[in-house]
Structure 1
Amino acid sequence: MNPANRENDDAARAAGSRLVQDFGLLIKAATRLEQRIDTALRRECEVSHTMFEVLIRLCRRHPDEEISQRRLADDLTLTSSGITRLIDRMEGAGLVRRGPAPGDRRSVLVEATDHGRAVFLRAAAVHAQVVERYFVAPVSRADYARLTHALGEIDKALRDT
């Protein structure tokens, strides 16, 4: 057999492996679920899924906790310019406000406005409905418990290494 043909056959087998297919299924399902959530949030609350993620972090903070724009960027794996543009849009929509960090002129703090908290509560209900319909309802209660346990174990393994 020609070495190039053997490499092509090996590549085709690798691409068709169960591990590649299973991971692809996970990514496809997660992407489709995220798209459903984003569409519902935009339609019903006029925020993107990423904006909702920012509001989650801002609305669940402790009263004395300060959240910087940099921390939000790290949490959401956004670049500095990406989080700046996102917070600009959210500030323009009245969802958040920025302020200087006491003692650190380079740091910018972000907090949810009253309007942002109200939008967050509506968006949380919409998010829950979509997750219930497409993530919880399609599987049995026992399968759901195993799935969420397994996802937690995967997340733990990724954090530990």
Structure 2
Amino acid sequence: MTEEDGPDGPEMATVHLLRRVSVEFGLRQAEFAARHGMHPTDVRALICLLDAGRAGTPVTAGRLGARLGLNSAGTTALIDRLERLGHVVRTRDAHDRRRVLLTVTARAVDQGQEFFGPPLARMADLLRTLDDREAAAVRRFLLEAHAALTGT
């Protein structure tokens, strides 16, 4: 056991390190929210919408609320707030006009890129230093860590 492993062994030291990274992400998200007159939940909503957009998954208010654990009134207030701030637009689904879909505006993407771009680019640069096997191990660990937290 090395000094970096801590008293609980290397596995728990890695878990604790992941928690530290997660806390830092949360702190940066809160800083971004405060800087742009948003609530931290607003930032989580934008992240959910951006992730869905990358996956090609349309998002309705109901789906967003379920993802964030919000009731209908809370979801509506959140979307209204994001729309007022110019971060989200509501559009009718071209395939089902009864559905309203949510998308993140280019302005919100630009603000996020300006704030989060440098540290995310640094992380991407670090990942490029890994060989394929190391990168696959990192991805596998993070996917399984996410599954452990979500119960999936």
Q: Is the structural similarity TM-score above 0.5?
A: yes
Other structure's SS at 2:69 match: coil
- Structure 2 distance, partners of 1:129, 1:103, is 39
1:150 aligns with 2:141: yes
> Residue 43 of structure 2 is aligned with which of 32, 49, 64?
49
Q: Which amino acid aligns with 2:112?
A: A
- Equivalent residues in 2 for 1:98-117, closer than 5 Å: 98=90, 109-112=100-103, 116-117=105-106
Q: Which amino acid aligns with 1:73?
A: G
Q: TM-score, normalised by structure 2?
A: 0.58
Q: Which amino acid aligns with 2:50?
A: I
1:30 aligns with 2:19: no
Q: Which amino acid aligns with 2:129?
A: R
- Structure 2 distance, partners of 1:28, 1:112, is 31
Which residue number in structure 2 is paired with residue 17 of structure 1?
8
Give the drift of 1:68.
1.0
Unmatched runs of 5 consecutive residues or more in structure 2: 1-6
Is the CA contact 2:45–2:64 (under 8 Å) kept in the aligned structure 1?
Answer: no
> Residue 84 of structure 1 is aligned with which of 70, 76, 101?
76
> Structure 1 54/42 Cα, relative in aligned 2: closer, same or farther at 3 Å?
farther
- Structure 2 distance, partners of 1:125, 1:60, is 19
Unmatched runs of 5 consecutive residues or more in structure 1: 1-15
How many residue pairs get aligned? The number is 136
> Structure 1 155/29 Cα, relative in aligned 2: closer, same or farther at 3 Å?
closer
Which residue number in structure 2 is paired with residue 72 of structure 1?
64
1:39 aligns with 2:31: yes
Give the drift of 1:79.
1.5
Q: Which amino acid aligns with 2:16?
A: G
Q: For residues 106-146 of structure 1, what are the alpha-carbon distances to aligned partners after superposition, in whole Å with 9 as ceiling and x for unaligned?
A: xx623337xx223214423532322234x456788228724
> Residue 116 of structure 2 is aligned with which of 117, 124, 127?
127
- Structure 2 distance, partners of 1:41, 1:24, is 25
Other structure's SS at 2:130 match: helix
- Structure 1 distance, partners of 2:118, 2:29, is 9
Identity across the alignment (%): 19
Q: TM-score, normalised by structure 1?
A: 0.56
